[in-house]
Amino acid sequence: MNKMKLIFGLCVGLLSLHAIELPQEINKQIEDCKNGHTLSCMDVGVALTTGENAEDQEKKDLGLEYMRRACSYGETKACDLLGENYFKDKHFLAAKPYFESACERNIVTACTGLGTMYRDGNDVKQDDILSRKYYEKACTLGDKDACINVAIIYRGGFGVAKDRVQEKKYYKKACDAGSKVGCSSFTRMDNKDKGIEEPGLWEQFKSLF
């Protein structure tokens, strides 16, 4: 049944091509895609779902059809891009299986996206434990904002016992990844642990820059 839906969707997308004026380069990629070159299918998808083309809903929809085609033929990058497009358009349930697969392959944006979905309850049951799980993995993969989110989880005790040591640890991870907020938060906590007097408000403000 799902295969029939995919075929039907592709047919609709291909038929709609005749009503959409496209550059010669994209038309060439479409021909290559029809001849079995799956990377060309993905290239068409990328071209039609980014930049000015993404502002034209018909072009974007057609691009997503070609992206799905490339994904169905095993182009994992196309699958990852599908998930990102669905997430950006707030089609969270559609994005979820693509993000789950991508996160297992250590795609950091997918792990972060899942953390946000479960934190905010975006078309899924709100779950602080799963949110922390995905944010922690994204942090390990180098996402500084995900590290900040884990620190906040430990600070607030969201789905976990409040833990100042873990909070400080994740601010340090965020700092190491290049976050100024992570660095200032870690320094503030570290100074307090060492009994160092906090700087005045003006000094704190200047340290952010």
Q: Which residues contact 167 (CB under 8 A, 6 or more apart)?
A: 151, 152, 154, 155, 189
Confidence label for 209 from pLDDT (cuts 50, 70 and 90):
low
pLDDT digits (tens, 9 = 90+) for 133-167: 999 999 999 999 999 999 999 999 999 999 999 99
pLDDT digits (tens, 9 = 90+) for 87-107: 999 999 999 999 999 999 999
What the block records as the tokens of 198 is 């906090």
Is the model more confident about 73 or about 199?
Answer: 73
Contact 26, 48 (CB under 8 A): yes
State mean pLDDT over 51-67. 94
State mean pLDDT over 177-204. 84
Confidence label for 23 from pLDDT (cuts 50, 70 and 90):
confident
Percent of the chain exceeding pLDDT 90 equals 80
If you search the block for the tokens 């403000």, which residue do you land on?
A: 205
pTM of the model: 0.82
| pLDDT, averaged across the chain | 89
SS3 107: coil
